[in-house]
Amino acid sequence: MEGANVNKIDSLIDKAQYIRATVFKMICEGGGGHIPASLSIVEILVVLYYEVLNISPETISDPDRDRFILSKGHACAALYAVLANCGFIDKQWLSTFGKRGTILGGHPDMHKIPGVEATTGALGHGFPFGVGAALAGKMDGRKYRVIVLMGDGECQEGSVWEAAMFASAMALDNLCVIIDHNRLQAMDTLDNIVPISPLAEKWQAFGWQVNEVDGHDIAGLIEKFTALPFQANKPSLIIANTIKGKGVSFMEGVPIWHYRMPNGEEMAVACNELGIDPL
Amino acid sequence: MRNAYIEALYELAAEDGRVLALVADNGAIVYDKFRAAYPGRFINFGIAEANMISVAAGLASCGKIPFAYTIASFLTMRAFEQIRNDVCLQKMNVKLAGIGAGFVYSSLGPTHHATVDIAIMRTLPGMTVFCPSSPMEARKITKEAARIDGPVYIRLSVGGSPEIYEGGYEFITGKGVMLKHGGDAAIITTGGITTEALKAHDELKKRGINVQVINIHTIKPLDSEIIIAAAQMTGAIITVEEHSIIGGLGSAAAEVIAEAGVRTRFKRIGLKGVFAEGHGTYDDVKEQNGLSAADIVRETVECLNIKLPS
């Protein structure tokens, strides 16, 4: 059994590496996008789509499906790569990312892309939208869960805290929010702009049950998701400590790469690190 | 109007289990009957309008039909981006009911007046915009909103609005109602201020001026036909709205008349790009802001005196 688990985790690590390379390639070859924000959520998405979420290309309209909402919509390249790998969308579409005529824009569109549950982009919207989906599930006595992935910088939006208060007031234990805690926003570190720490204590104070995990540790992520809900009648929060730009050394933890494209030389270094042929 | 809305919502809830009543810390007493009958379908979000609208969109994504109700100025402006992105962009079946149309909240002042809500709501793709003029109309519109699959904004006065219709009438979305016939000018109006337009009609009649009064209960989609026909017939259009003259009914009417190439005199009555002034009763605030029947009479006469270039 242990051997099987090791194999499973190795396989997911391989998938994450493949997705990471795919994300880099599609953004660089496509119309540009948010590389580091996408790279920091790769393991989270891989674990969700391969191990956690009760969804498949055949059940995208099933009322009982789990809902995943990418509230930090600018990291959609990672979502597209995972959706393609899981068969929700055609893999060939990935090379059209951000280009004229594509359905895969720089923010995800629920009406164009199979498997996308919410059109996000403006921060602080996907989370409360997910709260609504979780509330509807409770009203109807359905078993599905709603999982929302949010940025840490996104927690600077006031709407996040309105929704946090409301979700705990409604005792939505079918709701889990993951915060991609990479400690960077567009311009600088959160600490240098408007700090949101202590993050865990803030969410606890808002009535959430909080757990922390290394957001790149596949086994650790599986363990946390398996433990959902962390407490009955409370929404669950997972603080996933991540590295923005994970996998590309010169981008890791460097704010300037938020929406910047690498030049030829940088591209070669990145491709080498990601184990892909030069673009 | 408010009570008519809530009564109609109560009936809709009985007919359709998907209908929900959402509020942001308002509706004491008036929602009691709804709350007693459907406790699980009445949700008070507290003082958090933006959250109410995003959550409403999420509820709608799972098949619910939320009717989100709060003070119109907060609903349409505090939560504007949520209405735009979460409701309209995602084509969610969410109904928005704003109470306190215009300056019906009189002495509470401009923070509580809704004087640009028509303008901003009608810019939103997919949004239907209703401004009922009476309790009966509010009732018909609420029922109609449930039949529309998509975002709807309903602009409501608070309580005590007089009924302007005698007997029943056929309500059709996007079709204006000719309340009074006349050939000298056409007063085109919407919402609660229609009562002042009707008083102005009576006063003008005494002076030998016969004006049409047209109630545009649906701002979007707009009944361009009735407006163009009125301009062609009378050559004098006066729009009256409890709203800024920038972007509201007057602007919408001007757009269709200009595009149709109709030659007409034209006057917009409403707030002239300012916040409403003054305190006192609702009637007091109407008077202090140029929206009493007497103001409409005066401006109509002035409009008729404009000489069109030949």
- How far apart are the C-alpha atoms of B293 and B198, rounded to whole Å? 8
Alpha helices in chain B (DSSP H): 2-15, 32-37, 49-61, 72-73, 80-82, 117-122, 135-147, 194-206, 224-234, 249-260, 282-288, 293-305
Work out whether the CA dihedral A242, A246, A251, A257 comes out positive or negative: negative
Mutation target among A117, A131, A139, A172 for the B interface, most CBs of B within 10 A: A139
Domain assignment of residue B213, yes or no: yes
- How far apart are the C-alpha atoms of A130 and A147, rounded to whole Å? 8
Cis preceding-peptide flag for B151 (omega within 30 of 0): no
- Please report the pLDDT score of residue A205 as a whole number: 98
> pLDDT category, B79, cuts 50, 70, 90?
very high
Searching chain A, which residue's CA lies closest to the CA of residue B88?
A119
B187 in the same domain as B152: no
Convert A175-195 into a string of H (helix), E (strand) and C (coil).
EEEEEEECCECCCCECCCCCC
B187 in the same domain as B141: no
Domain CATH code at residue B214 = 3.40.50.920
Q: How far is CA A263 from the centre of its chain?
A: 26
- Please report the pLDDT score of residue B308 as a whole number: 79
Burial A261-272 (b: 16+ CB within 10 A, else e): ebeeebbeebbe
Residue from B177, B158, B161 nearest B169 by CA: B177
Q: Which residues pair with B267 in a beta bridge?
A: B238
Give chain B's domain count. Answer: 2
- How far apart are the C-alpha atoms of B301 and B185, rounded to whole Å? 10
User: Do the Cβ atoms of B114 and B237 come closer than 8 Å?
Assistant: no
pLDDT of B160 above 80? no
B125 in the same domain as B20: yes
Residue that terminates a domain, selected from B101, B124, B156: B156
Residue from B198, B206, B127, B189 nearest B162 by CA: B198
- Please report the pLDDT score of residue A1 as a whole number: 52
Cis preceding-peptide flag for A114 (omega within 30 of 0): no
Mutation target among B18, B19, B54 for the A interface, most CBs of A within 10 A: B54
The dihedrals phi and psi of B16, each to the nearest 5 degrees, come to -140, 115
Task: Compute chain B's Rg from CA coordinates.
Answer: 19
> Of all residues in chain B, what percent carry a pLDDT higher than 70?
100
Work out whether the CA dihedral A246, A247, A252, A258 comes out positive or negative: negative
Domain assignment of residue B166, yes or no: no
- Please report the pLDDT score of residue B28 as a whole number: 83
Show pLDDT as tens, one digit a residue, over chain A (279 residues).
567 788 999 999 999 999 999 999 999 998 789 999 999 999 999 999 999 999 999 999 999 999 999 999 999 999 999 999 999 999 999 999 999 999 999 999 999 999 999 999 999 999 999 999 999 999 999 999 999 999 999 999 999 999 999 999 999 999 999 999 999 999 999 999 999 999 999 999 999 999 999 999 999 999 999 999 999 999 999 999 999 999 999 999 999 999 999 999 999 999 999 999 988
Distance from CA of A129 to the nearest CA of B (A): 4
User: Do the Cβ atoms of A274 and A20 come closer than 8 Å?
Assistant: yes
Q: Spell out which residues of chain B touch residue A110, defining contact as CB-CB under 8 Å.
A: 90
Distance from CA of A140 to the nearest CA of B (A): 10
Q: Which domain holds residue B181?
A: 177-305
B197 in the same domain as B152: no
Determine if the pTM surpasses 0.90. yes
Residue from B298, B264, B108 nearest B196 by CA: B298
The mean pLDDT of B97-113, rounded to a whole number, is: 93
Q: Which residues pair with B129 in a beta bridge?
A: B153, B220
SS3 A136: helix
Domain assignment of residue B30, yes or no: yes
Domain assignment of residue B56, yes or no: yes
The mean pLDDT of B59-76, rounded to a whole number, is: 98
A62 in contact with B at a CB cutoff of 8 Å? no
Give A18: exposed, middle or buried? Use CB within 10 Å, 0-12, 13-18, 19+: middle
From its phi and psi, is residue B251 left (phi > 0), alpha (psi between -120 and 50) or beta? alpha
- How far apart are the C-alpha atoms of B2 and A259, rounded to whole Å? 49
pLDDT of B55 above 90? yes
B119 in the same domain as B67: yes
- How far apart are the C-alpha atoms of B83 and B218, rounded to whole Å? 19
Beta pairing class for B128-130 and B218-220: antiparallel
- How far apart are the C-alpha atoms of A49 and A55, rounded to whole Å? 8
B126 in the same domain as B256: no
Residue from B97, B287, B264 nearest B193 by CA: B287
The chain B residues in contact with chain A (CB within 8 A) are: 40-41, 43, 45-46, 48, 50-51, 54-64, 81-82, 85-86, 89-91
B99 in the same domain as B11: yes
DSSP per-residue letters across A211-253: EEEETT-HHHHHHHHHT-SSSTTS-EEEEEE--TTTT-TTTTT
- How far apart are the C-alpha atoms of A252 and A35, rounded to whole Å? 11
The mean pLDDT of B185-201, rounded to a whole number, is: 97
B201 in the same domain as B149: no
How open is the CA angle A196-A197-A201, to the nearest 5 degrees?
A: 115
What does the domain layout of chain A look like in residue ranges?
Answer: 2-274
Q: Spell out which residues of chain A touch residue B56, defining contact as CB-CB under 8 Å.
A: 132
For residue B234, give Cα distances in angstroms to A255, B209, B267, B296, B304: 65, 12, 13, 17, 10
- Please report the pLDDT score of residue B161 as a whole number: 85
Distance from CA of A101 to the nearest CA of B (A): 19
Q: Identify the CATH homologous superfamily for domain A2-274.
A: Thiamin diphosphate (ThDP)-binding fold, Pyr/PP domains (3.40.50.970)
Q: Spell out which residues of chain A touch residue B57, defining contact as CB-CB under 8 Å.
A: 129, 132
Tokens coding B288: 């202090």
- How far apart are the C-alpha atoms of A33 and A20, rounded to whole Å? 14
Tokens coding A50: 């391969």
Tokens coding B213: 């009064």
Distance from CA of A10 to the nearest CA of B (A): 36
B117 in the same domain as B24: yes
B290 in the same domain as B152: no
For residue B265, give Cα distances in angstroms to A5, B65, B191, B216: 81, 44, 23, 19
> pLDDT category, B167, cuts 50, 70, 90?
confident
Q: Which residues pair with B153 in a beta bridge?
A: B96, B129
For residue A62, give Cα distances in angstroms to A138, B107, B232: 16, 51, 54
